[in-house]
A and B are shown apart, each in its own frame.
Chain A
């Protein structure tokens, strides 16, 4: 439900960078979303198509690169991807670890004309 506010922010950032680059049209917007950040891709594109008309981003396509959660075991240093309820290190069975990936929510780049 918070996707509208997020989408408005995506539009604002994209337009700002496009204008700075002197572009007249944004064709693609490339986003990176970690598995642990709560964002629904389809809703974002839906809202985007609704709020972007009349801006340089009208018709732009959003691309989401999903980054899986990745942990580093605090006991043995092994890096692994937790799945479902399995947050145990496959190497030493310790539960959990430091999150080294999965919390990203960035705009990487835009493709403009």
Chain B
């Protein structure tokens, strides 16, 4: 028996396609943002409210990732922006190979910002590159403040953490100072935004930061 040294990243093929996706986005000066969260945290609501807040400043498109159905794409399409739905057929996350054909369907040359809504899941999307420039995880107040402990893989790798549904803070036992301390310790590079998609509270800081990421890119 002979030992053959391999030393290869198992995700290498995906990473290759992801870098091609990113090159395509770069050529069109489009900033891609990967929005990740558990189901029900408010990914689609955040996306729609972000579109409303930024549509005068930026040209925005969206990719909706779900295991099945067209529901989210239909919702987002009501804002009038170009949107493509990807159904993963039960798959627990998007990968670069799924995003590639979706990019071809979008008028990238006319877009400054592409919001990619990943499949609702806090485990699997972590570390699976799509070609995005910015990673964001949304944590919502009803989920509890201990999510980063349970899903460190996702919280450690993001550029921003958005706490959604802060309008519910008075009714629930979410310890916001403890959450802030935990994020600052786990991922000090990550920006933390505290918002409510329902009331619009905190949105200004979030969309200003996002717009800033776009101008950094171009």
Contact = CB atoms under 8 A, between A and B. Distances in A.
Interface stretch (B41-49, B79-87, B109-117, B181-189): B181-189
A96 B1 contact: no
A17 interface: yes
Contacts of B95: 5
Interface of B: 1-14, 90-93, 95, 123-124, 126-128, 146, 149, 152-153, 156, 181-182, 184-188
A95 B182 contact: yes
Interface in A27-62: 27, 31, 36-38
A84 B148 CA distance: 10
B6 A105 contact: no
A11 B17 CA distance: 19
Interface of A: 1-2, 5-6, 9-10, 12-14, 17-18, 21, 23, 27, 31, 36-38, 69, 74, 82, 84-85, 87, 94-97, 99, 103, 105-113
B185 to A, nearest CB: 3
A23 B90 contact: no
Nearest to B1: A111
Given A17-B4, A106-B9, A96 B188 contact: yes
A99 to B, nearest CB: 6
A111 B188 contact: no
A87 B2 contact: no
A109 B6 contact: yes
A36 B1 CA distance: 32
A112 B1 contact: yes
Which of B2, B12, B14, B93 gathers most chain A CB within 10 Å? Answer: B2
A97 B146 contact: no
